Amino acid sequence: MIRLTAIACASALAHVAALSTQASTNFIGASGGSVTSPGNWDNGVPTLANVGGLLGSSVAAYNDDEDLNGMAFDISGNASLTGGDAKTENVQITIRDTGNWSATGDIVVGEQGSSTGSQVLIRDSGSLQSSRDLDVGNEQVGLVDLTGGSVNVGRDFSIGTDGAGSGSSYGQSAGNLTVNRHASVANASSLKIDGGTANITGRLDLEDAGSTFAQSGGTTTIGGATRLRRDTAADISGGEVNFGGQLRVDRDASVNVSSGTVNAANDIRLAQNGATMTQTGGIVTVDGNLDLDGGSNKTYALAGGALAVEGTIIVTGSNNFEWRDGGTLTTHPNFSVVNFDGDLTADTGARFRVNSGTDQLNVFADLTINDLTIDGYGATLPAYNGTVQTGQSTLLTAANINGTAADIAFSGMSGLTLINAGDPFDPNTDSVYWLTVTNNFVAVNWSLAGAAVPEPDSLALLVVGLTILTRRRRR
């Protein structure tokens, strides 16, 4: 789905490149003069073949919602285009410098018309402002492209509102998008953020098959819930995305995270059959639950990057949480325990990062360990005091553990020697550590020699002091 949308966007951008911004008729009327009056132009009313220039501080107005149809404008300097509702067809408008198009009503870029499409390009510090709704692509393909400046929407922002507007797009590489209510993407259209900031006060809905949200840079903040309906997709390859409400993924919809940062202030819910979320990089932080409860064939694949969930990871039935290929489970900044409600398998390349001596992973069902690296052990060992000092910290608990110490690589005890559980050592002269693996828990044990030993490498020993912990069993 992402690939098909990318092809559509490439076609639209090729059309953008073909647009000439060289004005051939300039506005000479009084401030607020009508764009449709021939006497307000030095070479006739603008058309697609006769680009109208709004220069300097000129202000041109439109009085009817169809006045701009079939026109092309280059708005530059500090010039302004003003009016109420604008339901445009076959328009090409470039806004540069500190130029501005400001509407007291709705703006529709591509109300209807030929396959040529309608487009608005905002450059430099230009601005597009709609006091009410902004629709990009209704019964005609529409394109809005922001490389600097701002787009401000007083109410709702819709991309591809009608089937004839399929393939419409909003693209942003710099600048600021502000939507004061809700945003939606429908009919195989796209919302793409490559830089700058995008702030949506309310919801974001991807509504029809093939519709996409993509981000490779910048920061997007969505205050309300985000819903990916059937066969839609979100692709996050950079920047930062902040989901203020629940992120819901419906049937056969997908979320892909390959880089960047995703912050979910609520739950991430794979809600319907076939919903997937694949993480191959980046950092995903969830303040609520990661929910794969109910339905079937839903998958979260942690195959790279780091995942931190403050609530519980819930996996039931035929749904699946894949933990492999460098994917790292780690504790949430607000909580020292990762809770997993379901069966969990650590496959080749799975990693668990602990950030303090008390961090642990609790699995409420079966934990199968085929290959697991536990790294970043955040314990500061006691200083040498002339006596033998020992300690234990629980790392993993489960209702049942399938695996052995040989399946676990553990790092973080620099200056101590790794031994196998039960190996003999002299506690007076040997500083050692070993893993204990039982049916219900995995713990690290350590013993510091009573005689003086070299100081551990402080760079490898992180965060807080480790007090001696008795063996704990999660019930």
Same domain (yes/no): 403, 266: no
Q: Does residue 384 lie within any of the structural domains?
A: no
Q: Which residue has the higher pLDDT, 466 or 426?
A: 426
pLDDT for 429 beyond 50: yes
Number of C-beta neighbours around residue 332 at 10 A: 17
The residue among 297, 256, 262 whose CA lies nearest residue 279 is: 256
pLDDT for 5 beyond 70: no
The residue among 430, 440, 435, 437 whose CA lies nearest residue 410 is: 435
Residue 277 exposed, middle or buried by CB count within 10 Å (0-12, 13-18, 19+):
buried
pLDDT for 456 beyond 50: no
**Which pLDDT tens digit goes with each residue over 102-150?**
999 999 999 987 667 999 999 999 999 999 999 999 999 999 999 999 9
Q: Which two tokens stand for residue 110?
A: 């591509």
Instruction: Give pLDDT, residue 467.
Output: 30
Q: Does residue 434 lie within any of the structural domains?
A: yes
Residue type present at position 375: D
Phi-psi region of 210 (alpha: psi -120 to 50; beta: other; left: phi over 0): left
Lowest mean per-residue pLDDT among 73-77, 202-206, 364-368, 377-381: 377-381
Same domain (yes/no): 444, 349: no
pLDDT for 34 beyond 70: yes
- The Cα–Cα gap between 190 and 275 comes to 20
Same domain (yes/no): 186, 227: yes
- The Cα–Cα gap between 260 and 250 comes to 23
Q: Which two tokens stand for residue 469?
A: 């912990």
Q: Give residue 295's Cα distance to chain centre.
A: 25
pTM of the predicted model as reported, rounded to 2 decimal places: 0.89
Q: Does residue 30 lie within any of the structural domains?
A: no
Same domain (yes/no): 371, 395: no
Instruction: Give pLDDT, residue 355.
Output: 85
Q: Can you list the pairs that 331-335 forms with residues at least 24 positions away whose Cβ atoms lie under 8 Å?
A: 331/355, 331/356, 331/359, 332/285, 332/286, 332/287, 332/308, 333/285, 333/308, 334/287, 334/310, 335/310
* Residue 452 confidence class, pLDDT cut points 50, 70, 90: low
Tell me the DSSP string of 137-188: -SBS-EEEEESSSEEEESS-EEES-SGGGTT-EEEESSSEEEESS-EEE-TT
The residue among 250, 246, 253 whose CA lies nearest residue 267 is: 246
Same domain (yes/no): 339, 457: no
* Residue 188 confidence class, pLDDT cut points 50, 70, 90: very high
pLDDT for 325 beyond 70: yes
Pairing of strands 417-418, 328-330: unpaired
Instruction: Give pLDDT, residue 21.
Output: 53
CA quadruple 120, 124, 128, 129: dihedral, nearest 10:
170
Instruction: Give pLDDT, residue 116.
Output: 73
Alpha carbon separation from 88 to 106, 179, 475 (Å, rounded): 11, 20, 65
Domain span including residue 434: 389-465
Q: Does residue 361 lie within any of the structural domains?
A: yes
Total number of domains in the chain: 2
Backbone angles phi, psi at 10, to 5 degrees: -60, -40
Name, in order, each residue with C-beta under 8 angstroms of 306's C-beta and a sequence gap of 6 or more. 282, 283, 284, 328, 329, 330, 353
pLDDT for 4 beyond 50: no
Q: Does residue 335 lie within any of the structural domains?
A: yes
Q: Which two tokens stand for residue 92?
A: 């090409």
Same domain (yes/no): 368, 425: no
Same domain (yes/no): 320, 454: no
* Residue 413 confidence class, pLDDT cut points 50, 70, 90: confident
pLDDT for 462 beyond 80: no
Same domain (yes/no): 155, 249: yes
Q: Does residue 475 lie within any of the structural domains?
A: no
* Residue 226 confidence class, pLDDT cut points 50, 70, 90: very high
Number of C-beta neighbours around residue 474 at 10 A: 17
Number of C-beta neighbours around residue 369 at 10 A: 22
Q: Which helix (H) or strand (E) holds 292?
A: strand 290-292
pLDDT for 174 beyond 70: yes
* Residue 240 confidence class, pLDDT cut points 50, 70, 90: very high
* Residue 356 confidence class, pLDDT cut points 50, 70, 90: confident
Q: What average pLDDT does the chain have? A: 90
Same domain (yes/no): 371, 393: no
Instruction: Give pLDDT, residue 20.
Output: 42
Residue 49 DSSP symbol: T
Q: Which residue has the higher pLDDT, 4 or 308?
A: 308
pLDDT for 209 beyond 90: yes
Lowest mean per-residue pLDDT among 147-156, 201-210, 330-339, 454-463: 454-463
- The Cα–Cα gap between 322 and 304 comes to 11
pLDDT for 351 beyond 60: yes
Q: Does residue 76 lie within any of the structural domains?
A: no
Q: Which two tokens stand for residue 230?
A: 């059937």
Q: Does residue 143 lie within any of the structural domains?
A: yes
Backbone angles phi, psi at 375, to 5 degrees: -130, 170
pLDDT for 312 beyond 60: yes
Q: Which residue has the higher pLDDT, 411 or 188?
A: 188
Same domain (yes/no): 164, 285: yes
The residue among 317, 351, 375 that closes a domain is: 375
Q: Which two tokens stand for residue 431?
A: 């500083």
Give me the mean pLDDT over the 194-211 stretch: 98
